Structure 1
């Protein structure tokens, strides 16, 4: 080979080295034998071939000389060392022991969760519907912990609902970040990746039973069985996906709230609920039932001047007042739409991800102090400051609403209240709007999530199992003075790296002297 071409032979080895590194990098990132990996390997082979063709004499020396014998021994040792590393990594990956070295065991599942996993009779598969835009690290770590402790009875997979919308629809998944637990032909949905929610869903899944909720009908309410925009059929689908049995109830005909009713839902009646029905509802609540009332401003109903027995009962017995007004929110266009700007700390709102609830037409809801009763109430959502509850219906009809400090209620205005009777364990949720959860609006922001959370809480399904709480140990590094800071900086940034560098230089000099 001509000497002029031989000088380019090292370029072939450089090409082979770079291509080999690229192949390793692509294989690690893509985790499959993809086209970039194949091209990189081909370039590595071409680089070695170029070196052999351009400098065959050097190739013979490498393969037959003393250096080759040393190199072959080094190659054997390297291959043996690599094989040992591969074997150890395989054993660690397949039978990896885990140690939680934190003082308060923050990375260890609660004992109740471990007992639940141990008691599983059938395998459970978790389908985590997370798009690439939704953070999934917490969910993956949690699901991996469940899988590790379930003795082969728990597995999971992540599915991108944007890439596989058909599968997401078949699982009744309507929001990103939903986890569907499946056992046999049963399923449970979890919309918040926490140990409490996952374990509660596992308990419900392993202990199937009827969880019935009833929608009141007979007064022009939204019905879960209708279709079209003025319907709650989508809410029914969401509830069915969580293993609820959704029924309708006509108290005017049956004169009884069924014993299996976990909650009674009254969604936007167009006419008042009768006094006789209120007595039946009161008896149901007195024995520990739950009520979700989605009201509407009377100006958009056919209540007229008729008395509203349900509003009277809620105010006198539960301390919840429904205002004779309509909320005006200048932060939204049109201003007749009320938007939740503030959430209280409550199980209904803690999993809302700060998503707003948008109510197309709402009335104010406020607490009233009642002496001597056992009710505790919480205002869940409020509008922003730049809003008010308009009491002049004529100005609303003429589209001339303006804040009157003498009669209107200045913002922020309460839109939702949740209340609990500590004596009977009954629960009530009152919402100042109903069409926010209709088929037309339920998918906006947090509308559907809010109502589903409210039903879960009222039906006492939000937390079936109380996990052992973990106390977080807080540690604070107190730096006494600037001298301490200087010593830390000198040691960590300069001294330790400097000593390492000096040691390396000394070793290099000694090797040079030995020849």
Structure 2
């Protein structure tokens, strides 16, 4: 082959390679444009966290499934502030579940009239509107937003439920910030659409007719006999009751216990399983195994009740024991001081577990209603207190109890499990290495690969 032919073939090969490179670049650009077009019109997200922290709970998804029209959320915050970005992150799962969700930001300093009309008093609060009705959300959480949407969607299960909370005798406070109080549990109930009302029977004289549930915690001073009679009268009318006992509660509630047929064992529960969970003090009742009941279905983590009374299962003749939460076999009701080496002594009335610490009772409605009357009695109220609410399944168990008592079993959802893996804690050096690697390492790698390809092509050229 002549030199002229060889030169022509070399130029043809280079031209063919250049055309191939050009076609590749054009096709790559078209693919990128098409991918961007598809992403813009078909948004999709995946939650890769082990605990499902970036997706909505089953309860929220069930509520959103009832939304059939446009839903609008107005966030009263300056769109340029970091708080607006935090709100956007919290609402991202809602936007993913409802593509037609209208999300608007309003700076209350620029739109004060709109903020006042929405009942907004603080920056960052939201107004949820649906079919001409609205609810103001004062807390940035999934539960609070879901509760507002539930109220707007309506339905038989979503009608507001009133809980009368007995006070006036040193009971646990709904508004107190002390560890023993129930402020955080009350807030969780309000987030789910419940309305809580303090009730002093010495002043009111009776439980209101519209009360769907009475919450009774351990009194520090004995109630008057007439007040206990009002509670019994409420139960005679088919009322529902959640009674949180305590070992140090005042006397005076014996007639109510007799009405229900509730009796307790002496002392407080000591449980060897508490030490295995790393809990301080021996006087803790551990609930590790849950019965197959709407109160507990899907619960897997252990819960515990500090200083709990052991209940007897011989309830009143009119009542049926629906289910009971019990301790394990390595527990007993300790009647002596909780110090030193503790062992059960049958001669002192100390009985080995399992010991019931929570009883769920029911009976036919005494006034002829279609639903059965329901009562829950717990041998401890600390598990729902401010200091213990987020431990174990305490929050979820408390909400399930209230749902079951108010005949809203359909709203009981399996709570997402808390993260069980170790937290990632990077040092300053590790963060620096990751940052430098992302900013310089990856581009340097691509450059190196490109140079190697270029060098290889140069070797192949004649």
Correspondence for 2:440? none
TM-fit CA distance, 1:140 = 11
TM-score (norm 2): 0.60
Kept after mapping to 1: 8 A contact 2:259/2:316: no
Q: Cα distance 1:388–1:181, how it changes in 2: closer, same or farther (>3 A)?
A: farther
- Residue 234 in 1 paired to residue 184 in 2? yes
* CA–CA distance in structure 1, aligned partners of residues 256 and 127 of structure 2: 39
What do you get for the CA RMSD once the two structures are aligned?
A: 4.4
Offset of 1:119 from its aligned partner?
3.6
Q: CA deviation at 1:115?
A: 6.0
Other-structure match for 1:245: 195
- Aligned-pair CA distance for 1:443: 3.9
Q: Distance in 2 between matches of 1:445 and 1:361?
A: 16
Cα deviation per residue 1:168-195 (whole Å; 9 max; x = unaligned)?
A: xx999xxxxxxx996552379657xxxx
Superposed CA offset, 1:100-136 (max 9, x none): xxxxxxxxx9x986861214553599xxxxxxxxxxx
Q: How does 1:170-319 map to 2 (within 5 A)?
A: 185-186=136-137, 202-207=149-154, 210-297=160-247, 300-303=248-251, 308-315=254-261
Task: Determine the structure 2 residue equivalent to 1:433.
Answer: 380
User: Cα 1:364–1:236, aligned 2, differ >3 Å: closer, same or farther?
Assistant: same
Partner of 1:345: 292
Q: Aligned-pair distance for 1:453?
A: 3.4
- What secondary structure sits across from 1:277 in the alignment? helix
| Larger Rg belongs to | 1
Aligned length: 339
Distance (Å, rounded) in 1 between the aligned partners of 2:332 and 2:42? 60
Whole-angstrom distance in 2 between the partners of 1:462 and 1:141: 28
Mapped partners of 1:429, 1:440: distance in 2: 22
Structure 1 residue 271: deviation in Å?
Answer: 4.1
Contact 1:383 1:414 in 2 (8 A): yes
Equivalent in the alignment of 2:85: none
* Counterpart contact for 1:364–1:389, Cα < 8 Å: yes
| C-alpha displacement of 1:222 | 1.2
2:404 is aligned with 1:457:
yes
Given that 1:262 and 1:290 are in contact with CA atoms closer than 8 Å, whether structure 2 keeps it comes out as yes
Are positions 1:69 and 2:11 aligned together?
no
3-state SS of 2:309 partner: coil
- On the 8 A contact 1:116/1:199 being kept in 2, the answer is no
Contact 2:304 2:392 in 1 (8 A): yes
Shift in CA distance, 252/353, structure 1 to aligned 2, threshold 3 Å: same
User: Residue 285 and residue 331 in structure 1: after superposition, are their counterparts in 2 closer, same or farther (change >3 A)?
Assistant: same
Retained in 2: the 8 A contact 1:272–1:310?
no
Q: Is the 8 A contact 1:293 1:429 kept in 2?
A: yes
Residue 458 (structure 2) aligns with: none
Q: Provide the rounded CA distance (Å) in 1 between the counterparts of 2:177 and 2:91.
A: 38
Q: Which runs of 5+ in 2 are unaligned?
A: 1-6, 45-58, 76-89, 105-122, 130-134, 275-279, 414-462
Structure 1 residue 270, shift from structure 2 partner: 2.9
What's the offset of the Cα at 1:145? 6.5
Determine which of 324, 336, 344 is the counterpart of 1:403: 344
> Is 1:384–2:331 an aligned residue pair?
no
Alpha-carbon contact 1:190-1:201 (below 8 Å) kept? no
Q: Can you give the 5+ residue segments of structure 1 that lack an aligned partner in the other structure? A: 1-60, 99-108, 126-138, 156-169, 173-179, 192-196, 467-515
- Give per-residue Cα distances to partners, 1:205-237, cap 9 Å, x unaligned: 434864432221133311213343342223333
SS of the residue corresponding to residue 247 of structure 1 reads strand
Structure 2 vs 1, CA of residues 275 and 209 (structure 1 numbering), >3 Å: closer, same or farther? Answer: same
